Amino acid sequence: MLLARLRRSGLWPALIPSVVVAEALTGDAASDRPVEALLRCCDVTDRLDEALARRSAWLRTAANRGTVVDAVVVALAEPGGTVLVVNRPTIEAMALFADGVFVERV
C-alpha cells in the first residue's frame, strides 16, 4: 500500500500548507469529500511567516514559472524535504533552485 511505503520512507504524514487546502477545495461538501478524507490523514500547517513568503517569492522568480502555492510548497520542504506531486514539471523547476528538495510523483 502506498501509505505504508510513504510511512517507512518518513514521508508520511504529509505536511500540507494551508494555502494548498484553499487551492484544493471547492467549497462544495460532496465534491470535496475525497480531498477532505486525504487532509484528515495529513498535518496541515498555517506557517507562512515573512521569511518563508520571501523564500517562496524568490523560488518562483528563479524558476520563472509556477503559482504562489507551488512556491510555498517547495519552500516549506527546504532543506532536504520531498514534495509529493501528481504533475511534476513546475514543482521540479522550482526544486532545482531549492535547498535539497526532492520531487516524487504519486
Domain spans in the chain, listed from the N-terminal domain onward: 15-105
Q: For residue 88, is pLDDT > 90?
A: no
Taking only the tens place, the pLDDT of each residue in 3-52 is 788 889 888 898 999 999 999 999 999 999 999 999 999 999 998 999 99
Compute CA distances 98 → 36, 38, 48, 81, 105, whole Å.
Answer: 29, 26, 17, 10, 18
Model pTM score: 0.87
Contact 94, 74 (CB under 8 A): yes
The three-state (H, E, C) secondary structure of the chain, written as one string: CHHHHHHHCCCCCCEEEHHHHHHHCCCCHHHHHHHHHHHHCCEEECCCCHHHHHHHHHHHHHHCCCCHHHHHHHHHHCCCCEEEECCCHHHHHHHCCCCCCEEEEC
